[in-house]
A and B are shown apart, each in its own frame.
Chain A
Amino acid sequence: MARKVTSRRLIVSTAAAWLFGFLIFLPILWMVLTSFKTELEAFAMPPTFLFFHWTTENYATVQSRSDYVHHALNSIMVAGGSTLIALLIAVPAAWSMAFAPTKRTKDVLLWMLSTKMMPPVGVLVPIYLIYRDFGLLDTRAGLILILCLGNLPIVIWMLFTYFKEIPKDILEAARMDGATIGRELVYVLAPMAVPGLASTLLLNFILAWNEAFWTLNLSTLDAAPLTVFIASYSSPEGLFWAKLSAASTLAIAPIIILGWFTQRQLVRGLTFGAVK
């Protein structure tokens, strides 16, 4: 008897979960399907679902008409650059707070966090003017700088929560054996910190890749990453659904795949350790 109830429950919850999952995923699925249609079929009413003339021509057109690769490279360099620089600054800081804490460490951490809570519009005007006067508007360096500073608190926090979990006894044992701080870092700490570093790097890369306030306001063409490039499809004269879908699919596919690997770290990184 009991087993029967369980298997019925399994079927019901499976059906419900798949239905919800499908509905939530539908916009992305629809976009991917549309990217393989002709422009005519993309607008067709009633829409075609699977039995249409599949074509990859949109993907070729997106590149030939608007230099997609240029914007993709901008995205990679801006997201990658800002992530690497943020890590360079954050690793020593997080190490210091996790392994050499002082009475003020907690306050420093919370203060860093509070900088992340400042709404970007609050400083839009001065940043825009500073960028204009220093010639940083529409430059990759400018975007790297602002995204690096914007995400630095999250990077420090994530690293801090990982470093804190490394048992201190191991470090003490190494020190007893006469290891210097430098050796301790390279041989003991680094190998244990790699998983935390990797997921911090990944999550921050995703956040920077998708950032759409500063990129929209501070870049137009030369440094424009994919967020800005896709936004250019919003003008009525640029409305080509199939091409918009192809460009969008290319822009989000790598990030969704990376994102799926970081699910667990996502919760930790985005709630600052408040939910584990």
Chain B
Amino acid sequence: MATQQTQILGRVLLTPAVVLLFIWMIVPLAMTIYFSTLHYSLLDPGTESFVGLENFRYFLTDPAFLTSLQNTLVLVGSVLAITILLGTPLALLLDQPVIGRNIVRLMVIAPFFVMPTVSALVWKNLLMHPVSGLFAFIAKSFGATPIDWFTDAPLVAVVLIVSWEWLPFATLILLTALQSQDEEQKEAAEMDGAGALSKFIYLTLPHLARPITVVILIETIFLLTVFAEIFVTTGGGPGLQTTNIAFLIYAQALIQFDVGNASAGGLVAVVIANIVAFFLVRIIGRNLEA
């Protein structure tokens, strides 16, 4: 009897969350789908008309879309590569006995808690400014010409900022995974005469395979929609050099007020994100069973 009562209560308690999330997911998405089939400009209200898939044809064949898709892929790919290639050795290092390890850990994690608008502006001005930035000073001390980051390599600059924000995340997750590694197994391998390198290749790397996959998937979901860093540093420019898909859609919606076209773009973004989400949900779902 008690169980049945619990079941009913359980359903009642679950309902508000499910209903809210359902509305939050379905209503805006349905509206986006509806708008994407309209010719609809906020500058020209009252002239909405059904245009079928015209917006998609326009969005997907717009040269700005290809540029921004390319920028998105470069941004996501580079940040993933940097955070994992630096995060893995860093996690291995922090897994060693280190004097003052907790303080080092705090320093490494700190960037993750900095709000995106602060990291972007501090990097752009205090560090990357071609005349008065810290990087310019370092370059000049070595006799090199300072790089004018946001003119000559704007996308690289954005990649560096975003990588700095996400390096702590990758490091922390890999470190957590390392600490759950079987110590006895490592000791046994040592007894059998395994060197540091072969221990890393045959024991540690396979152990890290899954956390690395999780880092890749979760970072990808957030990196696909990097926005604030671009918004406060470059505004997508110069030209379209730092416009990613998220920023392109924002510009079409809230700068050009083209609702129809921005909605079509939004759906394209949803589809891209869903492809990644599909794999992530499968991994997490498998973990839920265990």
Which residues from chain A sit less than 8 Å from chain B, CB to CB? 9-10, 13-14, 16-18, 20-22, 24-25, 27-28, 30-31, 34, 42-47, 89-90, 92-93, 95-97, 99-102, 106, 108-110, 112-115, 117-130, 149, 152-153, 156, 175, 181, 206, 209-210, 212-213, 216-217, 226-228, 230-231, 233-234, 239, 241, 244-245, 248, 251-252, 255-256, 258-260, 263-264, 266-267, 270-276
Contact = CB atoms under 8 A, between A and B. Distances in A.
23 contacts: A10-B97, A24-B164, A27-B127, A30-B134, A45-B131, A47-B132, A92-B14, A100-B6, A100-B11, A106-B285, A108-B18, A121-B249, A125-B31, A126-B32, A206-B113, A213-B228, A216-B227, A230-B115, A231-B228, A252-B113, A263-B109, A267-B176, A271-B173
B248 to A, nearest CB: 9
A271 B214 contact: yes
Q: In terms of DSSP, what is the predominant structure of the interface of chain A?
A: helix
A270 B172 CA distance: 11
B126 A241 contact: yes
A117 B231 contact: no
A125 B32 contact: yes
A270 B180 contact: no
B197 interface: no
Given A20-B93, A149-B24, A27 B123 contact: yes
B93 A17 contact: yes
A248 B118 contact: yes
B176 A122 contact: no
Contacts of B11: 96, 100, 102
Contacts of B10: 95-97, 99-102
Contacts of B106: 260
B143 to A, nearest CB: 14
Given A126-B263, A175-B2, A275-B210, 18 more contacts: A9-B96, A14-B99, A14-B100, A21-B104, A28-B111, A28-B122, A31-B126, A101-B10, A115-B24, A121-B265, A122-B267, A125-B31, A125-B35, A125-B262, A216-B227, A231-B121, A234-B124, A267-B172
Nearest to B168: A24
A98 B152 CA distance: 54
Given A92-B14, A125-B35, A259-B109, A227 B228 contact: yes
A271 B172 CA distance: 11
A117 B227 contact: no
Interface string B27-54: 1110110010000000000000000000
Contact of B122 (A31, A152, A216, A259): A31
Contacts of A181: 5-6, 9
A81 to B, nearest CB: 16
Contacts of A272: 284
A128 B253 contact: yes
A263 B172 contact: yes
A228 B267 CA distance: 27
Interface stretch (B181-189, B198-206, B272-280): B272-280
B250 to A, nearest CB: 6
A217 B122 CA distance: 21
Interface in B142-199: 164, 167-169, 172-173, 176-177, 180
Contact of B119 (A13, A27, A239): A27
A156 B127 contact: no
Contacts of B273: 117-119, 122
A47 B141 CA distance: 12
A264 B111 CA distance: 16
A259 B165 CA distance: 14
Contacts of B108: 20-21, 24-25
